């Protein structure tokens, strides 16, 4: 019996182009031969199995083996050369609940022409949240309570691979559904740090390739095209050469990579706004003075953490990134504060950076709504805010004196 079952599995493994009928006949011949004693190679089953129950059972086992063998051997029943193009997802009936966001000059506007200044936050990776048992609408309801109007969702390459794109997409669809219902927009962020051109990265969790990155955006654009809730695609979290340890990355090369990603995305999705990160861990946009990205309807990203430059901050912020906001939209998609806010410098920084950004019409998202990743906005998974989290929640709600215009 073992030899017969093995024969069926082997035939499926090595004979994918054969039709099922041919495989059945060949499997039967090998099976009969393996159990024949005196009857010869083409023994009739009656000669091999005088007991009808035994004969019937053996045929059932062989049939099951034949059906199951493609699964056991990892083979599809259909040959590779009959492959189908990847189907487009069905339209989401909630896709148009929120107004479409567009670029107009140096601002974000709705279809009716209303200017939007986004205030929001980053959650942790959906894979992390789901593994820790908090991936549900209640998590996003807590986010909504902070005053956030947009949620940045960081997707780490290692999590994308380990969970598999198909299963990870289910998490992203959950997030988009919940945010739609709660009236919050979404940024999908390919959350990696390093040099994509040389494929060298700051930590193994950020390891990726250009091919995987392009395929990620092709998959995301195919799945979320036409969904107004997904307002932005943040193409790459933080490009850096890490003091030369990750090679070299001239702006001209980084610019071309982003132009390629934008062209690819727009083959599927011409509405969602691509966000292009500056160099130096997404801080420095100074190359835009002479060589902006060759694409319309995009925005640029900066991550203006306090430690990026010494004081006085404002003139350095103006020189390094804010100058660009006079012509194109700029978004500070990541910056944070110490958890306990005990440092007067950090408390001062929090007020100064938010006022600086909003005075120039620069949208912002703080980092990070999580009790473990630094700098934490949460004390624990009971959703109690740290002092830094309380500060940001007040700013997200527009309750600072300098926000009341």
Locate the domains of the chain by residue range: 2-79, 101-403
Return the closest-CA partner of residue 306 out of 342, 350, 266, 275: 350
**Mean pLDDT, the chain, as a whole number?**
85
Q: With 60 as the cut, is the pLDDT of residue 47 above it?
A: no
User: Given a cut of 70, is residue 75 above it in pLDDT?
Assistant: no
User: pTM value?
Assistant: 0.81
Q: What is the arithmetic mean of pLDDT over 259-280?
A: 98
Q: What mean pLDDT comes out for the span 149-176?
A: 98
Strands 150-155 vs 119-123: parallel, antiparallel or unpaired: parallel
Mean pLDDT computed over 346-366:
93
- Average pLDDT (117-130) is 98
Judged by average pLDDT, the poorest of 50-54, 208-212, 325-329 is: 50-54
Of the pLDDT bands very low, low, confident and very high (cuts 50, 70, 90), residue 55 is low
- Mean pLDDT within 172-194: 98
Question: Phi first, then psi: what are they for 170, rounded to 5°?
Answer: -60, -40
What per-residue confidence (pLDDT) applies to 43?
Answer: 46
Q: What is the pLDDT of residue 310?
A: 85
Selecting from 3.40.50.300, 3.90.230.10, 3.20.20.80, 3.90.1150.10, what CATH number does the domain 101-403 have?
3.20.20.80
* pLDDT number for residue 282: 97
Q: Which is more confident, 181 or 33?
A: 181
Strand order, beta sheet including 101-104? 101-104, 107-110, 115-116
Question: What's the rounded mean pLDDT across residues 181-187?
Answer: 98
Over the Cα atoms of the chain, what is R_g? Answer: 28
Average pLDDT for 328-347:
80
DSSP state of 385: B
pLDDT at 4 over 80: no
297, with CB counted inside 10 A (0-12, 13-18, 19+), is middle
Q: Where are the beta strands (DSSP E) in 184-257?
A: 185-190, 193-195, 200-201, 230-234, 238-239
Q: Report whether pLDDT(356) > 90.
A: yes
């Amino acid at each position: 019996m073992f030899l017969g079952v093995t024969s069926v599995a082997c035939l499926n493994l090595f004979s994918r182009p054969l039709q099922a009928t041919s495989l059945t006949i060949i499997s039967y011949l090998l099976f009969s031969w393996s159990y024949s004693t005196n009857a010869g190679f083409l023994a009739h089953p009656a000669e091999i199995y005088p007991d009808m129950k035994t004969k019937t059972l053996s045929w059932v086992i062989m049939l099951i083996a034949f059906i199951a063998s493609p699964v056991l051997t990892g083979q599809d029943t259909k040959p590779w050369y009959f492959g189908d193009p990847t189907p487009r997802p069905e339209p989401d009936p909630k896709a148009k609940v929120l107004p479409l966001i567009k670029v107009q000059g140096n601002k974000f506007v709705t279809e009716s022409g209303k200017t939007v200044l986004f205030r929001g936050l980053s959650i942790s990776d959906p894979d992390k949240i789901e593994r820790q048992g908090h991936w549900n609408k209640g998590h996003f309801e807590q986010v909504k309570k902070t005053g956030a109007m947009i949620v940045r969702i960081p997707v780490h390459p290692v999590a994308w691979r380990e969970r598999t794109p198909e299963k990870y997409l289910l998490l992203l669809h959950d997030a988009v559904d919940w945010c739609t219902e709660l009236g919050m927009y979404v940024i999908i962020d390919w959350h990696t740090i390093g040099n994509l051109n040389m494929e060298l990265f700051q930590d193994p969790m950020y390891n990726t390739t250009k091919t995987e990155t392009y395929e990620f955006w092709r998959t995301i654009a195919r799945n979320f095209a036409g969904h107004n809730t997904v307002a932005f695609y943040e193409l790459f979290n933080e490009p850096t050469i890490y003091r030369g340890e990750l090679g070299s990355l001239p702006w001209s090369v980084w610019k071309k990579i982003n132009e390629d990603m934008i062209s690819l995305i727009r083959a599927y999705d011409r509405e969602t706004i691509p966000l292009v990160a500056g160099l130096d861990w997404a801080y420095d946009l100074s190359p835009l003075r002479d060589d902006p990205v060759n694409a319309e309807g995009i925005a640029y990203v900066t991550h203006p953490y306090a430690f990026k430059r010494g004081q006085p901050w404002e003139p350095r912020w103006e020189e390094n990134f804010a100058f660009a906001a006079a012509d194109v939209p700029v978004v500070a998609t990541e910056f944070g504060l110490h958890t306990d806010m005990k440092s007067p410098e950090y408390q001062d920084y929090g007020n100064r950076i938010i006022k600086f950004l909003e005075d120039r019409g620069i949208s912002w998202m703080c980092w990070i709504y999580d009790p473990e990743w630094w700098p934490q906005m949460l004390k624990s998974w009971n959703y109690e805010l740290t002092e830094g989290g309380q500060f940001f929640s007040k700013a997200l709600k527009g309750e600072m004196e300098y926000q009341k215009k």
